[in-house]
Amino acid sequence: MADPEGLFEPVLVSDEIARVTSAANWVQKMVEVECSLSQAQARLGLIPASAAEAISLLASSHNLDPTEMGRAARSSATPVIPLVRMLTAKLPKEAMPWIHYGATSQDILDTATMLVAKESLQVILNKLFELCSDLAALAERHRDTIMVGRTLMQHALPYTFGLKSAVWLSGILDSTLGLERIYTERLAVQIGGAGGTLAAFENAGTDVVMLVADDLGLNPARIPWHSQRQRMVELGSALVMVNGTLAKMANDIALASQAEIGELAESLGAGGGSSAMPQKVNPVGSIVVNAGFRRAQGLLVTLYGCLIAENERGAGEWQAEWQSIQELLQLCGGAVSRSLTMVDNLFVNESKMLDNLELSRGNVMSERVLQAMTRLLGRTEAYDIIREATIQSALNGTPLSDELQKVEAFRESFNSDQVQELFDPFSYLGSYREFIDRTLDHWQEIQNTWKVPSGDRNMD
């Protein structure tokens, strides 16, 4: 199976996910579906056992060229028609009538897509497991590493990098729940025959579906879903959700790596170079994850548009899904791999975090001071006093506490020890320890069952 090809694909797509989602693997999975179908039919007496045996040998000997098949598909708008012709030509004469017996193109390609998705999600979920392990360790290591929290791009309150890491971890865990559900519940065999009734299978249609599902390790569908495309939309949505959550983390890292901030760096002295400026170490991991998410959003729109497949088989919607699903799997797989590398090599500049917190000259403690003064003066008067003091602090480049000392009401209300306590950022971190602990406990609870779930398949 090929590595990512072309000029642009290798930038966004990891080698591992490229191999799983390659055209060669898609063809292989279509052949495996044809083989599984013939075996199920033979067990139920629908086709000769000798024919099923001959067809099954094709799984390891077909040697089909995906590009040749794709070109041959131009006349039919489906690669399954040339697939069946090419496979039939490789069979002994007595087995030729029995390949693809009672099936239709969408049965083969949809089921193959489910198999490709299953392999892809195994890769993605396992790497997400590693990523969450790394983030949990980061949250624990830096639970008390103080920094400034920012809202609307401005300094807000004291924060810790451990809490920031826990927030990243929590978001990734939440977004992964949807992907786990797809893996365990929604990857289903699609076999409906020519019109969705399995009429060609006589009275054995549902038995064929169950046997194929069991053989391929997919869920048996409650009813043929060839004209109901929710599974594809759910798969795409779950992938984009993970991709977007990773992009949020990547954006935070990119912002913190700006020279003026300097709190984080993806790596030191390696990668991310500029063709013109030798001094630059660009946050390339963050850039690539962000770019992949921007691309993925548009592909999801395409999948939602395919929900309106006409009657019993859509006229174009199905074809629009193929590359969209392929690229969404690739983009998500690439984003997870990049994010894992990014977190593994993340440099945390604790001293710079403290320096940046102190840039506000105590203004990040204004909420705490407001609460204390509100109890004495009422909210309106207290707010007006502190607001004016923050403005003067900015204009004069002075600490907020110095400006407040000029206000009689403040001087008379707080002694020096109380002022020091009011402006101590380490004592105004709220429930951060509890939030970190809750997130780490949640991760501890689920990690033993997350590594590619393998529970019983469900009738859905």
Fold of 9-354+436-450: Fumarase C; Chain A, domain 2 (1.20.200)
- How does residue 280 score in pLDDT terms, banded at 50, 70 and 90? low
Contact 219, 185 (CB under 8 A): yes
Catalytic residue among 60, 76, 274, 454: 274
pLDDT averaged over every residue in the chain: 92
Does residue 274 have an active-site annotation?
yes
Structural domain boundaries in the chain: 9-354+436-450, 363-422
Contact 214, 302 (CB under 8 A): no
Task: Encode pLDDT of 70-101 as tens digits.
Answer: 999 999 999 999 999 999 999 999 999 999 99
Task: Encode pLDDT of 303-355 as tens digits.
Answer: 999 999 999 888 889 999 999 999 999 999 999 999 999 999 999 999 999 99
- How does residue 279 score in pLDDT terms, banded at 50, 70 and 90? low
Higher pLDDT pick, 376 / 39: 39
- Chain position carrying tokens 């009738």: 459
The predicted structure's pLDDT at residue 269:
52
- Percent of the chain having pLDDT more than 90? 87
Does residue 165 have an active-site annotation?
no
The model carries a pTM of 0.92
Which one-letter amino acid corresponds to residue 242? V
What average pLDDT does this structure show over 448-457?
57
Rounded (10°) CA dihedral 45, 50, 54, 59? 40
The predicted structure's pLDDT at residue 22:
96
CA 320 to chain centre: 21
Backbone φ, ψ for residue 237 (5° rounding): -65, -40
Cα distance between residue 30 and residue 110, in whole Å: 9
Catalytic residue among 150, 313, 433, 457: 313
Quote the tokens at residue 238.
């779950």
The long-range contacts involving 77-82, CB below 8 angstroms and separated by at least 24 positions, are 77/319, 78/105, 78/106, 78/109, 78/319, 79/27, 79/30, 79/109, 80/30, 80/105, 80/106, 80/108, 80/109, 81/105
